[in-house]
Amino acid sequence: MRRIIAGNWKMNGLQAARAQALALAEGVAAATAAGTQLPRVVVCPPATLLADIARDLAGTAVETGGQDCHTGTSGAHTGDVSAQMLADAGARLVILGHSERRADHGEADALVAAKVTAALAAGLEAIVCVGETEAERDAGRAEAVVLGQLAGSLPEGVDPAAVTIAYEPVWAIGTGRTPTVADVAAMHGAIRAALVARFGAEAGGAVAILYGGSVKPSNAAELMAVADVNGALVGGASLKAGDFLPIVLA
C-alpha cells in the first residue's frame, strides 16, 4: 500500500499558516522532481482554513483533510461540521476518534463508528484513531484497549479500502515520549492481525496503519522502519514545513 504522512494541526493556525502548507507542497514537488518516491502527504488544518488551504494546494501532490465531522449531513447542530461540508471544502480525508475528541468531548466508539459511516458516505476516507492511556498501559491492558477501540470504531460493513488506522498512545501525544520500537511493532502487529481477521488477508493487509505521538524529524526514520508502520500522524511537528518535510522524506 502507499504510505501516508498526515499532519494534524489541531486547534492551531491562522491565515498566515497557509504559507506553511504551500512551503510543504513546494518541498514535496522538489523531492518528487529529484526522483524521490514519496508517501501520500496530507495536511489537516482547522476547519476555518480548510477551504483556503485546499484551494491553495489544488494541483499539488499534498491532500487536505478535516479533523472531525458530525454524523449527519446537515441540520440543527450548532457549531458542528458535516462530512459533506468537509468534502465540499476540498477535503479528501477526515481524522475521526482522535484521543483529544474522545477525552474533551466524550466520544465513544459507537459515535466514532457513526462518524466513519458519515465520512465514507460523503466520499471521504477516514483516519480512525486508537490508543491507550498511560494507566491502561501500566495495567497491562494496552492491547486489549486498542483492539476494543478498533473493533468498536469501525462500523459494520465498512469498506476497509476507505479506512486508515492511526495508533496514537495517549501518553505519547505532545509529550516528547514515544513507545519503544518493540512496543510499536507489537501493537501494530496486533492491529494488523485484527484487521486481517475482520476483513481477510488481502483487504485487511492493505489498510495503512499510522503511528502517531511525538513523531519528529529525529525519530521518524526509526519509527517508520518498524514492521506494519505504514506512515505517521503528526501533530506539533506538522505545523512548520521545515519540521514536517523531513518527516515526509523519512
The SS3 of residue 63 is: strand
C-alpha gyration radius of the chain: 17
Catalytic residue among 63, 70, 98, 100: 98
Provide the b/e sequence for 75-90 (b: ≥16 CB within 10 Å). Answer: eeeeeebbbbbbbebb
Of 53, 173, 194, 245, which lies in the binding site for ligand 13P, with binding defined by CB under 6 A? 173
Number of other CB atoms surrounding residue 15 within 10 Å: 9
The answer to the question of residue 209 lying near ligand 13P (CB under 6 A) is no
- State the minimum distance, in angstroms, from the CB of residue 170 to ligand 13P: 9
* DSSP conformation letters of 112-125: HHHHHHHHHHTT-E
d(CA 64, CA 112) in angstroms, rounded, equals 20
Extract the C-alpha cell encoding 225.
Answer: 522502519
Residue of the chain from 132, 168, 228, 243 that contacts ligand 13P (CB under 6 A)? 168
Among 17, 83, 233, 241, binds ligand 13P (CB under 6 A): 233
Among 56, 236, 241, 247, binds ligand 13P (CB under 6 A): 236
Specify the residue, 98 or 192, whose C-beta has the smaller distance to ligand 13P: 98
Task: Specify whether the CB–CB gap between 8 and 49 falls below 8 A.
Answer: no
Q: Give the separation between CA 130 and CA 152, rounded to whole angstroms.
A: 10
β-strand partners of 46: none
H/E element holding 33?
Answer: helix 18-33
C-alpha to C-alpha distance for 39 and 168, rounded to whole angstroms:
19
Single out the residue of 209, 213, 220, 228 in contact with ligand 13P (rule: CB under 6 A). Answer: 213
Active site residue 26: no
In the complex with ligand 13P, which residue's Cβ is closer, 84 or 101?
101
**Residue 98 annotated as catalytic:** yes
Task: Give the range of 58-66, 77-85, 105-113, 234-242 binding ligand 13P by CB under 6 A.
Answer: 234-242
Q: Which is nearer to ligand 13P, 70 or 98 (CB)?
A: 98
Number of residues that bind ligand 13P (CB under 6 A): 14
Give residue 240's identity as a one-letter amino acid code.
K
Residue 247 Cβ vs ligand 13P, minimum distance, rounded to whole Å? 10
Is residue 174 part of the contact set for ligand 13P (CB under 6 A)? yes
Residue 102 in contact with ligand 13P, rule: CB under 6 A = no
Q: Which of residues 4-63 bind ligand 13P (CB under 6 A)?
A: 8
Q: Which residues are catalytic?
A: 98, 168
Residues at the site binding ligand 13P, with contacts judged by CB under 6 A: 8, 98, 168, 173-174, 212-215, 233-237
